[in-house]
């Protein structure tokens, strides 16, 4: 047995010495070829996150393919998310840096600026200068995409909000009035014949904030609205109280049907299409959920009615693309943004998304909702970015819930207390409240 062990040991030593001798007398280049593992060439690709609306895939997948054909860079959709889940996901991707995509669909205004402030977004000022984008977008879009003299996003679409209605109600009651007093009486007539003028929902509370925004814009104008978004106006202010009381009147008259309180707008949309609801306050992308072309032809869109005799202002959210600061593919991502900035690409996207191109020199195409939306935008004296993009994220996140609850309670005192307490907690304590 001992002899056997010694024999195995000798064989092992001989094998090691043989390998060493072979390597010693073999050219280094040959050794490297034999022992090295071929390195895999990194794929030219970027990952991206998009909105979950059905029209988004139809709009973007062909654009991604065209971009790949032109540049060799593949665009891989990582996830499709709901607008309302946007902020939570942004925190996960950009702050916690978990599964962060290279390029993200997002919102301009305070939401973007908050991420830029935290260093989570890659600045693209050089792209703005290189491509002269400053001359191609609206002032509101340039400002909403910037933070501390740097640009952080590329706008690719713009749209407005208004009232959707079906022609079947105009066949019963005549044209929808543009004057507020007459419009309220029109709503009463709808209610009298068993059609709820408006749905009330808690599931997507940002919709309730649109009511507040339009009351402020139609009663007191854009400058006052912007001051409110900056936390400079107390919610006890007489002008805010006028807004809440006017809104309360619609609630007290039973114009909001609370049967839909636990439904998303996609869920109560069929009731609207079956004439159970008279009006839906929503942005033009709502049309992406109306799949039947015959029904779509029966659905029209109008601007929110005039209340006070002041210039017309509209809310006009912009959707943007931006690049995560921790992306490993900054150069590829920048190429994608430049590609999407082209007029022809934005025209193509507009035709699917029921929005207007962000570029001033682009065209909304033949989509009637995009055309109606851009007509309303062009007719406005000024544009607001939408409540949840104009206010600080810490404020709007809770304020929109209070607005939605107000549709049930109609309690002005309670809503005032909640909003004012939140304003004082979130905004700079040094801001001087303007009590008009």
Which CATH number does the domain housing residue 208 bear?
A: 3.40.190.10
Residues 94 and 113 in one domain: yes
Contact 203, 262 (CB under 8 A): yes
Residue partners of 45: CB distance under 8 A and separation at least 6 = 73, 74, 75, 76, 329, 332
Residues 225 and 119 in one domain: no
Q: Are residues 178 and 50 located together in one domain of the fold?
A: no
In a domain, 356, yes or no: yes
Report how far residue 67's alpha carbon sits from residue 357's, in angstroms, rounded to the nearest whole number. 18
Whether 306 and 416 map to the same domain: the answer is: yes
Q: Are residues 286 and 326 in the same domain?
A: no
Whether residue 214 is found in the same domain as residue 145 = no
246 and 165, same domain (yes or no):
yes
Q: Is the residue at 30 inside a domain?
A: no
Sequence-distant contacts of 215-219: CB under 8 A, at least 24 apart: 215/243, 215/246, 215/247, 215/307, 216/240, 216/243, 217/304, 217/313, 217/314, 217/315, 217/384, 218/180, 218/304, 218/305, 218/306, 218/307, 218/308, 218/310, 218/313, 219/243, 219/246, 219/307, 219/308, 219/310
Whether residue 1 lies inside any domain: the answer is no
Which residues does 428 contact at the CB level (< 8 Å), separation at least 6? Answer: 231
Residue 171 lies in a domain: yes
* Of the candidates 210, 198, 206, the residue with the CA atom closest to the CA atom of residue 258: 198
Which tokens is 158 given? 């713009």
- On whether residue 191 sits in a domain, the answer given is yes
- For residue 172, tell me if it sits in a domain: yes
Q: Which residue positions in the chain have pLDDT lower than 70?
A: 1-42, 52-54, 79-96, 98, 428-436
pLDDT of residue 40: 46
Domain holding 285, by residue range, is 161-314+392-426
Residue 336 to residues 123, 127, 340, 341, 386: CA-CA distances in angstroms? 15, 11, 6, 9, 27
Query: Are both 127 and 177 inside the same structural domain?
Result: no
What is the per-residue pLDDT for 87? 63
Chain-centroid distance, C-alpha 37: 46
Is residue 375 located within the same domain as residue 298? no
pLDDT of residue 18: 43
SS3 194: coil
Question: Which pLDDT score is estimated for 435?
Answer: 44
Q: What is the pLDDT of residue 37?
A: 41
Q: Is 435 part of any domain?
A: no
Q: Which residues contact 244 (CB under 8 A, 6 or more apart)?
A: 406, 412, 415, 416
Q: What is the pLDDT of residues 1-19, one digit of tens each?
A: 434 333 434 434 443 344 4
Are 166 and 154 contained in the same domain?
Answer: no
Q: How far apart are CA 210 and CA 400, in angstroms?
A: 9
Residue 22 in domain: no
Q: For residues 197 and 288, state if they share a domain.
A: yes
Nearest to 214 by CA among 70, 108, 315: 315
pLDDT score, position 111: 85
- Residue 31 has a pLDDT of 38
Do 280 and 247 reside in the same domain of the chain?
yes
**Domain count along the chain:** 2
């Amino acid at each position: 047995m001992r002899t056997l062990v010694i024999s195995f040991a000798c064989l092992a030593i001989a094998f090691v010495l043989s390998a060493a001798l072979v390597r010693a007398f073999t050219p280094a280049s040959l050794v490297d070829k034999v022992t090295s593992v071929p390195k895999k060439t990194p794929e030219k690709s970027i990952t991206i996150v998009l909105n979950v609306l059905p029209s988004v895939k139809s709009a973007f997948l062909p654009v991604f393919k065209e971009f790949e054909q032109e540049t060799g860079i593949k665009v891989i959709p990582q996830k499709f998310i709901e607008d309302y889940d946007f902020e939570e996901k942004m925190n996960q991707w950009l702050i916690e840096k978990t599964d962060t995509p290279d390029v993200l669909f997002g919102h301009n205004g305070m939401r973007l600026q908050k991420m830029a402030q935290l260093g989570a977004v890659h600045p693209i000022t050089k792209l703005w200068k290189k491509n002269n984008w400053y001359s191609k977008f609206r002032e509101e879009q340039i400002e909403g995409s910037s933070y501390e003299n740097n640009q952080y996003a590329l706008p690719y679409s713009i749209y407005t909000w208004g009232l959707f209605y079906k022609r079947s109600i105009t066949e019963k009651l005549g044209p929808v009035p543009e004057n507020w007093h007459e419009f309220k009486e029109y709503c009463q007539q709808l209610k009298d014949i068993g059609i709820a003028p408006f749905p009330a929902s808690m599931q997507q509370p940002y919709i309730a904030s649109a009511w507040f925004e339009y009351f402020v814009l139609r009663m007191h104008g854009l400058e006052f609205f912007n001051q409110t978004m900056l936390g400079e106006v107390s919610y006890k202010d007489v002008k805010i109280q006028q807004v809440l009381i006017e809104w309360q009147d619609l609630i007290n008259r039973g114009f909001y049907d609370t049967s839909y309180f636990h439904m998303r707008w996609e869920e109560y949309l069929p009731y609207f299409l079956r004439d159970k609801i008279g009006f839906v306050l929503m942005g033009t992308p709502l049309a992406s959920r109306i799949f039947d072309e015959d029904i779509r032809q029966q659905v029209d869109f109008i601007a929110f009615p005039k209340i006070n005799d002041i210039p017309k202002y509209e809310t006009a959210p912009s959707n943007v693309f931006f690049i995560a600061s921790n992306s490993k593919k900054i150069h590829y991502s920048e190429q994608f943004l430049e590609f999407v900035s082209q007029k022809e690409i934005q025209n193509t996207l507009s035709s699917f998304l029921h929005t207007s191109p962000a570029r001033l020199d682009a065209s909304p195409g033949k989509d009637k909702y995009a055309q109606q939306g851009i007509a309303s935008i062009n007719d406005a004296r000024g544009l607001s970015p939408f409540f949840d993009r104009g206010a600080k994220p810490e404020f709007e996140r809770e304020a929109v819930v209070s607005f939605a609850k107000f549709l049930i309670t109609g309690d002005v005192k309670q809503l005032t207390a909640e909003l004012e307490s939140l304003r004082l907690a979130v905004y700079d304590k040094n801001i001087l409240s303007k009590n008009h």
